[in-house]
Amino acid sequence: MEIIEAESKQQYQQCLEVRKRVFVEEQNVPISREIDEHEDIATHLLLLDSETPIGTVRYRPLNKELIKVERMAVLPEYRGRSLGQDLMTRVHDHAKLFGFTHSRLGAQVHAVAFYERLGYRVASEEFEDAGIPHVYMERTI
């Protein structure tokens, strides 16, 4: 397994394929909500098993200290192997290289415990995004 920064159009398309499988097909998020205006400014990371794309996450700066982590997804057949944790660790390490010190994300409510294990704390009331209950979570990186 390796996690790379998606630098080519092909690698970015592989990130989108994973996101479409997880968010659009599995969770019924409309494609128009999944692909948004932040695609070009976000840093996209791609998790590969040999040459096969199996996970992705992106982050983008909100200000000079704070990033927003978004679109974290691992294909269903690869879940339960701590790969999501690996993706999040890479996001934090990557963002630190550019001087970021804090991270924020909108967690699906069912995933709150996962993010709490990574040091995030709930920072908002519950809200709905694409028909799915979420909360904002934050941590220092």
CA–CA dist 64, 110 (Å, integer): 30
User: Which pLDDT score, from 0 to 100, does residue 33 have?
Assistant: 87
User: Which pLDDT score, from 0 to 100, does residue 130 have?
Assistant: 84
User: Which pLDDT score, from 0 to 100, does residue 44 have?
Assistant: 98
10 has pLDDT over 90: yes
User: Which pLDDT score, from 0 to 100, does residue 92 have?
Assistant: 97
39 has pLDDT over 90: yes
Q: What is the pLDDT of residues 78-137, one digit of tens each?
A: 998 999 999 999 999 999 999 999 999 999 999 999 999 999 999 999 999 888 899 999
DSSP 75: -
Which superfamily is assigned to 2-140 in CATH? Gcn5-related N-acetyltransferase (GNAT) (3.40.630.30)
Q: Which residues of 53-76 are buried (b: 16+ CB within 10 A; e: fewer)?
A: bbbbbbbbbeeeeebbbbbbbbbe
User: Which pLDDT score, from 0 to 100, does residue 131 have?
Assistant: 86
Domain ranges of the chain: 2-140
59 to each of 17, 102, 110, how far by Cα in Å?
A: 17, 12, 21
The radius of gyration of the chain's CA atoms, rounded to the nearest angstrom, is 14
